[in-house]
Structure 1
Amino acid sequence: MHSLHPSYMFNTSEVHNEYNLLSDFLNNSLMDDGGLYRGDDIHGIFSDPSLTNTMGQMTASSVMPPPNATHAQQQYASSQAPTNISPSRQQGGLSPDKAREKYYMTAADPSGTDAPEKRMQNLLQAKYDAGLLKPFNYVKGYDRLNNYMKHHLQPHNRQRILRQLDKFRPQFRDRMQILTDLELIRVEMWFERSLMDYDRVFASMAIPACSWRRTGEIFRGNEEMADLIHVPIESLRDGKLAIHEIIVEDSLANYWEKFGSIAFDQSQKAILTSCSLKNPDPNSHDPEIRCCFSFTIRRDQHAIPSLIVGNFLPIAAPDSS
């Protein structure tokens, strides 16, 4: 795995691992298919110094950021630190067993006189104290995407997706490098709260819909979506399926191109396009389903795309009579 350029050191292992894997993933994949690029293209893709191993050239002074930068990062981190999450787990409040028991009791009986938002906060706090709420590990998601592309996509479509990952990698790095563990946990709390909101939204709408993480793992879907692609509703929860496993190849490359074009553009958050869906079972004989497809990017409090919500409206085949 490639070492990070000294200017790109991160505060958390989760972000460090995700960025390193993304760089490694792009480096190996693009070099493997280098024949698809002209010489100038290859030079442009690998001009980012974070893709080269510079650790051997570092000195003690080069690893440490300038004093002003360190002070600025500390000020930013302190100003962004959430105030309504108590780090009681680190301070050794309840024992692990007691904390986990408290979480299960809170989840089983969320009633009380507090406002709904306060009860939700108490539930997430209890989950955090029990050690069940942690920063999400995106490394497995990139590995899953990479394996799928290697075995199911044609080289030209694979390169279309890799170009988009390479395109937004610098913006991802710039936003993620100052985040702390507690801020990443806060992002995960926001993500879980959003999933609960979409549980209610999906249950009240008759249009097939699902939501997924930026690496494609589907975490929520409704009955209409499950019926459309002929899978159990449980398959559309907690990353059992990924969006790249239910969208046909050309449509998948088209989705990534559109996602990459607006992922970090805060002036845009939704795109209307079309796609073809498929049953994720490779042995299925179900026909492809042509759909009108829209997706909305939900960004967390650090303006990083973390949740994507898609709606799929099947397009009826023309009547041949």
Structure 2
Amino acid sequence: TKPYDYTEGYHFLMKHLPTRFEKNDILRIVRALAIFRPSLIALQMPLSLDDEVFVEKCFQRSLLELDKLMSFSGTPTVVWRRTGEICLVAPEFCMLTEWAMEDLVGPGKRKYIYELFENQSVVEYWENFASHAFENTTQSVYSHCVLLKPSGAPVPSTFCFSIRRDLFDLPSVVIG
């Protein structure tokens, strides 16, 4: 196991924004990122390579537990990293959105949760994430969003997401 390169995920986001968003929306997303990124960087700085490997092993272990839990729930569920990279998908989510599981997760696949949201939902998601990434009082964030099918057709939804933190108090897993 090697440490996960979170920087790559944020670089993808920054390249993705101008291809899809108006300037005002890009500014709102960048402002949201500016709220929590300095804290992330400050908390990550003292971590050793062994710490980062341990965090990734814990993350992978969490995915195994969540996969088992999702198999019992029958709820459209997606699990992603703090960068938005999708790591785990329940079959019910695929039924709801018509996305094939193979298009969302798998070897060599990198799909980000914000790629499945319409634009306004992306902006609101990052603003919500920024508000709650380091907050200890909120268990779950409830919101509305519009998911996009592979065809681009909208799927209006109500959802909640929870942010789990790792041993070093960094936001690690987002369950939505």
After TM superposition, is the score higher than 0.5? yes
**Is 2:90 aligned against 1:204?**
no
**Does the Cα contact within 8 Å between 1:221 and 1:237 map onto a contact in 2?**
yes
**2:122 is matched with which residue: 233, 237, 252?**
252
- SS of 1:204's partner is helix
Deviation at 1:265, TM superposition (A): 1.5
**Is 2:16 aligned against 1:148?**
yes
**2:113 is matched with which residue: 243, 246, 256?**
243
**1:297 is matched with which residue: 132, 151, 163?**
163
State how far apart, in whole Å, the 1-side matches of 2:94 and 2:36 are: 31
Unaligned runs of 5+ in 1: 1-132, 311-321
**Does the Cα contact within 8 Å between 1:274 and 1:291 map onto a contact in 2?**
yes
**1:193 is matched with which residue: 61, 72, 93?**
61
As a proportion of its length, which structure holds more strand? 2
Cross-structure match for 2:41: 173
Q: Which moved more, 1:137-146 or 1:192-201?
A: 137-146
State how far apart, in whole Å, the 2-side matches of 1:302 and 1:188 are: 12
Amino acid at match of 1:259: F
Cross-structure match for 1:288: 154
Aligned residues: CA RMSD: 1.4
Deviation at 1:145, TM superposition (A): 0.9
Cross-structure match for 1:121: none
Deviation at 1:154, TM superposition (A): 1.5
Unaligned runs of 5+ in 2: none
CA deviation vs aligned residue, 1:71-115 (integer Å, no higher than 9, x gap): xxxxxxxxxxxxxxxxxxxxxxxxxxxxxxxxxxxxxxxxxxxxx
**Does the Cα contact within 8 Å between 1:264 and 1:305 map onto a contact in 2?**
yes
State how far apart, in whole Å, the 1-side matches of 2:171 and 2:138 are: 12
**Does the Cα contact within 8 Å between 1:135 and 1:181 map onto a contact in 2?**
yes
State how far apart, in whole Å, the 1-side matches of 2:92 and 2:154 are: 16
State how far apart, in whole Å, the 2-side matches of 1:154 and 1:209 are: 29
Deviation at 1:159, TM superposition (A): 1.0
State how far apart, in whole Å, the 1-side matches of 2:75 and 2:138 are: 23
- SS of 1:302's partner is coil
Deviation at 1:234, TM superposition (A): 2.1
Deviation at 1:173, TM superposition (A): 2.5
How is 1:1-321 mapped onto 2 (pairs within 5 angstroms)?
133-238=1-106, 240-279=110-149, 281=150, 284=151, 286-310=152-176
State how far apart, in whole Å, the 2-side matches of 1:245 and 1:199 are: 22
State how far apart, in whole Å, the 2-side matches of 1:205 and 1:236 are: 20
Amino acid at match of 2:110: K
Cross-structure match for 1:32: none
Task: Name the TM-score, length of structure 1 as normaliser.
Answer: 0.52
